[in-house]
Amino acid sequence: MATTSSRRQLGRSVSIVGAGMSGFGAFADKDSRDLFVEAFQDLLDHLDQGMDIEDIECAYVGNYSSDLFEHQGHTAPIIADWLGMTPIPVTRIENACASSGSALREGIMAIASGMYDIVLVGGMEKMTNLPTEGVTDVLATAADALYEVPTGLTFPGIFGAIAKAHMDRYETNLDHLLKVAIKNHVNGSKNPKAQFNVTIRNLMERRVTRAEQRGQPVPDYNSEMDFLNDPGANPWIAWPLRLYDCAPITDGAACVLLVASDIAHNFTDKPVTIAGTGQASGRPLHDADELTSLSAARTAAARAYEMAGVTADDIQVAEVHDCFTIAEIVASEDLGFFEPGEGARALDEGRTALDGDKPINTSGGLKAKGHPVGASGVAQVAEIFHQLRGEAGERQVDNPDLEVGLTHNVGGTGGTCVVNILRKG
Amino acid sequence: MATETRPFNATSFNAYLTEDKRLMGVRCRACGMLSPEPRPLCRSCHSRDLEWHEFSGRGELSTFTCISIGPVYMVEQGFGRNNPYCSGIVTLEEGPRISARILGVDGNNPQNIRTGMDLVLALEEIDPEHPSLMFRPA
Ligand SMILES: [Zn+2]
């Protein structure tokens, strides 16, 4: 049908000129609005040529469930007020863990349409108010309440079922899952904003030290894998997924400033352009066409690649949605970086490590950086923004020709996926 | 099959399951699409001409997980870290897949649970207050 042609282009070019993040972690004294203010202040403090807040014309805020986490609905006007932006239009976008990925797209389209020139886009989530079972219940509301949730399937459970299907069909095994966690914690240890700014080796050593100090039996770990295979240190959550296969429960916020590309140089000499963007919907896992892949990711990626005029081979750095370790392996296949079933081998070969040919989740990913669900999509974009500008510090990808990066943000278990392709300049 | 007049929705799905002990979904008269989840519009051809279709309740286990950290309502039933439960995806013999609890398997020994095994609907186990699909090994 002509009306659903994938050959869509933006009406005009859109650039990112600034990015900010709150700390990611557990902050008992901060509500989501405080986190958003912190991210916004970080953005302003690092905006190369500064700006007048009054120039922001519109904002979109991704947020999954302040309703259930904080008993607060209608959060958008509160953000407007706390940032001193009332009465500009601010709209909350909810697409589960892809909320801010979708919010970003709304901001892109608001500028591309010609309606606005300067738009703030962000996301936030305050999750640590609730105990783990409560968070599990809230996250499960992203699945189908009629036909999935009553069967006891949880969010980790559905990804556990994907992992089992992937292990049945391909050579993926439990060790591969753990290696994703090890890799992403190595990257997270180089990210001062990460919730887990620490390697798994560090965590292992801490456990040994603690046992020694308390006079308890000292675990005999020869490697991180021994530690991760210790059910005391790494208990099952939803077999075949263990604690360290799961992104943590996180409070945090992130935001970026979008502007029409023709005025980007009023804000910075190093803008990053939205080269392509794609979003797609998908069905519950039981109705997915494959149990080992998220169709929405494949569709969103195809749209984004087409708009950007690039292929998977052109992507030099990527932030993908590793809400669970298996999700990173599946993402690396869905995005076309590796053939279906080859994601685990590519990981084994170090290709997705910071010094590999396809570095994935340089920020630490959701796994180590943290996963305040409504903020994650924009936090991924912030990481690629910093990478393409060469300002990612210790975790900077060592490639003088770094120009093209990608973000992959999944809502729920693949009901939504947003893929963005960013280009330096 | 008697003429079925219930509306195509989850209330009807659960009523069939708990009162009539039948797994009832829909079939599109225009294109043959089968869906165990009753819906008023065909998602394949967009036809509104659907009819109730009874599924046999036989299928096979396509993938599964054993959940140690469950939602509050499973914790209240005594499941947890020491007593994980199994849920998974069942491919019905008519073709479509559905999510379901898998009974009669040991959640503490997932390596002994075989994908591909034959399953049947465990109608007797369904709680009318909280209906959900449950299967057990055939
Ligand atoms: Zn049809």
- Per-residue confidence band for A2, with pLDDT thresholds at 50, 70 and 90: very low
For range A5-19, the mean pLDDT = 88
Residues B27-71 have pLDDT tens digits of 999 999 999 999 999 999 999 999 999 999 999 999 999 999 998
Q: Taking a C-beta distance cutoff of 8 angstroms, is the pair A46, A16 a contact?
A: no
Q: pLDDT at position B42, please?
A: 98
Between the CA of A418 and the centroid of ligand 1 the distance, in Å, is 29
Residues paired with B80 in a beta bridge: B83
User: Could you tell me which chain B residue has the CA closest to the CA of A241?
Assistant: B65
CATH 3.40.190.10 is the classification of domain A14-130+249-424: no
Chain A CB within 8 Å of residue B16 CB: no
Catalytic residue list contains A97: yes
Q: Is A10 exposed, middle or buried (0-12, 13-18, 19+ CB in 10 A)?
A: middle
Q: Taking a C-beta distance cutoff of 8 angstroms, is the pair A362, A383 a contact?
A: yes
Same domain, B48 and B64: no
Q: Taking a C-beta distance cutoff of 8 angstroms, is the pair A139, A371 a contact?
A: no
Q: Is A355 exposed, middle or buried (0-12, 13-18, 19+ CB in 10 A)?
A: exposed
> Which residues touch A16 (CB under 8 Å, ≥6 apart)?
A256, A257, A258, A271, A272, A273, A274, A381, A385, A422
**Beta carbons of A161 and B37 less than 8 Å apart:** no
Say how many C-beta atoms besides its own lie within 10 A of residue A346's C-beta: 20
Same domain, B75 and B132: yes
**Nearest CB neighbour to B130, from listed A150, A168, A237:** A150
Between the CA of B36 and the centroid of ligand 1 the distance, in Å, is 14
pTM of the predicted model as reported, rounded to 2 decimal places: 0.97
At B96, which CATH number? 2.40.50
Q: Could you tell me the end-to-end alpha-carbon distance of chain B, in angstroms, rounded to an integer?
A: 25
Q: pLDDT at position B130, please?
A: 87
- ipTM confidence score: 0.97
Between the CA of B46 and the centroid of ligand 1 the distance, in Å, is 6
Same domain, B123 and B85: yes
Residues paired with A405 in a beta bridge: A317, A422
Element spanning A151, H or E: none
Length of chain B: 138
Mean pLDDT, chain A, whole residue set:
96
For range A279-296, the mean pLDDT = 97
Same domain, B109 and B62: yes
Residues A77-117 have pLDDT tens digits of 999 999 999 999 999 999 999 999 999 999 999 999 999 99
Same domain, B45 and B75: no
Q: pLDDT at position B3, please?
A: 67
Residues A159-216 have pLDDT tens digits of 999 999 999 999 999 999 999 999 999 999 999 999 999 999 999 999 999 999 999 9
User: Could you tell me which chain A residue has the CA closest to the CA of B82?
Assistant: A236
Residues B99-137 have pLDDT tens digits of 999 999 999 999 999 999 999 999 988 888 889 999 999
Considering only CB atoms, which chain B residues are within 8 Å of A285? 89, 99
Q: Could you tell me the end-to-end alpha-carbon distance of chain A, in angstroms, rounded to an integer?
A: 35
**Which candidate, A277, A343, A338, A234, places its Cα nearest to that of A121?**
A277
Range of the domain at B80: 58-137
CA separation for the pair A241, A351 (Å, rounded): 23
Same domain, B40 and B69: no
Same domain, B40 and B64: no
Break chain A into its structural domains and give their ranges: 14-130+249-424
CA separation for the pair A87, A77 (Å, rounded): 8
**Nearest CB neighbour to B88, from listed A137, A156, A161:** A161
Same domain, B44 and B64: no
Same domain, B71 and B47: no
Best of A147, A245, A289, A326 to disrupt the B interface (most B CBs within 10 Å) is A147
Catalytic residue list contains A371: yes
Same domain, B129 and B66: yes
Q: If contacts are CB pairs under 8 Å, which of residues 92-121 in chain B contact chain A? A: 96-101, 110, 115
**Nearest CB neighbour to B98, from listed A235, A286, A291:** A286
Domain count, chain B: 2
